[in-house]
Amino acid sequence: MAVGRILYVLGIVFVFFSLVMIIMMFFSSGGAPLYPLFGLLNGLIAMGVGDIVIDLNHRKNTYKEGA
């Protein structure tokens, strides 16, 4: 359960900082937004995997309690 939460929070951090970098590049003169876009994608994937891990652990625990 802790792994899923850590992944989810790490994904949120990556998404937040990537969005900040994209906004900063938008207002500054130039800069390739390729690296922040990869960071954004990485953060979204980490959030998705963390959510899946949390859901699977929750389902496993509810299945054990019901059986």
Q: What CA–CA distance (Å, rounded) separates 11 from 36? A: 13
Q: What CA–CA distance (Å, rounded) separates 17 from 15? A: 6
Question: How many domains does the structure of the chain reveal?
Answer: 1
Question: What's the predicted TM-score (pTM) here?
Answer: 0.80
Task: Give yes or no for residue 41 having a pLDDT over 90.
Answer: yes
Give residue 53's domain range.
2-66
**pLDDT band at residue 66 under the 50/70/90 scheme:** low
Pick the more confident residue, 4 or 31. Answer: 4
Task: Give yes or no for residue 30 having a pLDDT over 80.
Answer: no
| Residue 22, both tokens | 């994209």
